[in-house]
């Protein structure tokens, strides 16, 4: 363990860069598997399940599907970032986990199970997915789980940039996992909760400090005027596009019309129209898409969950290392 230190925080001015990513969804593996144009061709499917990764690991033989997806997404992100697993081991790598489904599958199984299963209970905790990742890769740095519904992805990006710009770590894995299949009947019953098709996904971004880039800006607001309040603060500076991640199609339409009225000239992407609803994973996938598009100006990512709105403004996405 390192010696005690009290280095003054010198405001590592600047932003963060995306070094790489890993993506598994109901559409397949990698960004290239995603459909390119709306409308999405789901032919009435309510759920697009993601295949369970075969990790051939004795240690993970009891782990749930969510955990396996988390580990597989991180491994894919490390591969894409040209990082060996040992390079993320230790205290200088952080893990920030985001999920809206929040382990509902494991919890519901435990609530409704007739048989008692001591092995299953630890996997009902939302900390189980990031825990399996930290154990698998030996990560002992900053660590937290955000469960604020679909906004958790945006919040995770903000928290990752905070950890990097305050030098609490050198690298952050931002991981999102959303699974629905095991408790699909709950989502069917509460169909007013979420839109369809639900897209299962595991997405991981590798972020690193990048002094040459402008700072990432985070804002969030609650209430009926939440979106207006966010937009009002973002009128300055050039914007390339806005990626909107809402939990239902009607909510997306209303918010989309509002945004287009505010910024008639920008490109607006309603992520659900292209992919389906993947909740906290949506902003992470949107960032991957924006970087791949190579836009020269800032990009806004906005998400909604009930009365809550969250936003990050990501500068110069074309300059990202992952491009």
- Pick between residue 251 and residue 293 the one whose CB is nearest to another protein: 251
3-state class (DSSP) for residue 140: coil
Q: CB-side exposure of 317: number of CA atoms within 13 Å?
A: 24
- Pick between residue 28 and residue 122 the one whose CB is nearest to another protein: 122
By CB under 8 A, residue 301 contacts another protein = no
Using the rule CB under 8 A, which residue among 52, 140, 181, 267 binds another protein?
A: 140
Q: Using the rule CB under 8 A, give the single segment among 23-31, 42-50, 140-148, 247-255 that binds another protein.
A: 140-148
By CB under 8 A, residue 282 contacts another protein = no
Residues 6 or more apart in contact with residue 162 via CB below 8 angstroms: none
Q: Using the rule CB under 8 A, give the single segment among 44-52, 71-79, 109-117, 255-263 that binds another protein.
A: 109-117
By CB under 8 A, residue 27 contacts another protein = no
Compute the least distance from the CB of residue 97 to another protein, in Å: 9
65-94 residues in contact with another protein (CB under 8 A) are: 89, 91
Two tokens, residue 138: 């030996």
**How far is the C-alpha of 161 from the C-alpha of 154, rounded, in Å?**
11
Q: What is the DSSP letter of 141?
A: S
Mask for 217-246, x = binds another protein (CB under 8 A) = -xxxxxx--x--x-----------------
By CB under 8 A, residue 116 contacts another protein = yes
**How far is the C-alpha of 239 from the C-alpha of 205, rounded, in Å?**
22
By CB under 8 A, residue 249 contacts another protein = no
Beta bridge partners of 198: 47, 277
Q: For another protein, how many residues bind (rule: CB under 8 A)?
A: 76
CA dihedral 186, 190, 194, 198 (to 10 degrees): 30
Q: Using the rule CB under 8 A, give the single segment among 14-22, 31-39, 156-164, 206-214 that binds another protein.
A: 156-164
**How far is the C-alpha of 229 from the C-alpha of 234, rounded, in Å?**
9
Q: What are the angstrom distances between the C-alpha of 66 and each of 17, 101, 106, 320?
A: 27, 10, 9, 29
By CB under 8 A, residue 117 contacts another protein = yes
């Amino acid at each position: 363990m390192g010696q005690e230190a009290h280095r003054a925080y010198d405001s590592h001015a600047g932003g963060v860069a995306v070094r790489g990513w890993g993506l598994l969804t109901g559409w397949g593996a990698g960004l290239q598997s995603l459909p390119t144009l709306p409308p999405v061709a789901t032919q009435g499917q309510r759920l697009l399940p993601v295949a369970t990764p075969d990790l051939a690991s004795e240690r993970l033989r009891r782990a749930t599907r969510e955990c396996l997806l988390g580990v597989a997404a991180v491994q894919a992100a490390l591969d894409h970032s040209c990082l060996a697993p040992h390079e993320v081991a230790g205290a200088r790598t952080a893990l920030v986990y985001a999920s809206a489904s929040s382990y509902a599958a494991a919890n519901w199984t435990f609530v409704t199970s007739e048989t008692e299963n001591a092995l299953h209970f630890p996997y009902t905790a939302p900390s189980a997915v990031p825990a399996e990742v930290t154990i698998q890769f030996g990560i002992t740095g900053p660590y937290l789980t955000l469960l604020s519904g679909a906004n958790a992805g945006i919040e995770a990006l903000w928290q990752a940039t905070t950890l990097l710009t305050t030098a609490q770590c050198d690298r952050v894995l931002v991981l999102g996992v959303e699974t629905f299949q095991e408790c699909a009947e709950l989502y069917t019953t509460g169909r007013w909760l979420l839109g369809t098709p639900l897209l299962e996904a595991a997405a991981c971004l590798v972020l690193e400090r990048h002094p040459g880039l402008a700072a990432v800006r985070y804002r969030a607001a609650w209430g009926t005027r939440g979106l207006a309040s966010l937009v009002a603060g973002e009128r300055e500076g050039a914007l390339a596009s806005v990626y909107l991640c809402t939990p239902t199609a009607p909510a997306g339409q209303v918010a989309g019309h509002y945004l287009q009225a505010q910024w008639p000239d920008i490109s607006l992407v309603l992520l659900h129209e292209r992919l389906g609803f993947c909740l906290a994973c949506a902003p992470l996938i949107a960032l991957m898409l924006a970087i791949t598009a190579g836009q020269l100006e800032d990009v806004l990512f906005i998400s909604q969950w009930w009365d809550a709105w969250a936003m990050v403004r990501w500068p110069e996405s074309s300059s990202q290392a992952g491009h």
